[in-house]
Amino acid sequence: MVKCHLSRLMGERKLKIIDVARDTGLHRNTVTLLYQETATRVDLDAIERLCRYFNVSVGDLFEITGEQVSP
């Protein structure tokens, strides 16, 4: 399973979803799905924008956990 750390990164900086959406140019729904960890697909452009915005690597934004998703 892939875990997204967007909510932690936003919390550390006291940012709201609308702030991140506005500042990155991403759709609010995209940010919301990542924040709530309910996204099933993420565009590479969105990952790049978020990594640049928070000045982190992809590994800081996403993590593979021990849990596996059943097919």
pLDDT score recorded for residue 5: 97
CATH numbers and ranges of domains, the chain: 2-64 (1.10.260.40)
How many residues does this entry show for the chain?
71
Residue 5 tokens, joined: 């750390």
Distances (CA, A) of 3 to 25, 40, 50: 23, 11, 15
Q: Across 1-71, where does the E strand assignment appear?
A: 2-4, 62-64
pLDDT score recorded for residue 70: 61
pTM of the model: 0.89
pLDDT score recorded for residue 69: 60
Tens-digit pLDDT profile for residues 9-64? 999 999 999 999 999 999 999 999 999 999 999 999 999 999 999 999 999 999 99
The C-alpha atoms of residue 4 and residue 59 are separated, in whole angstroms, by 10
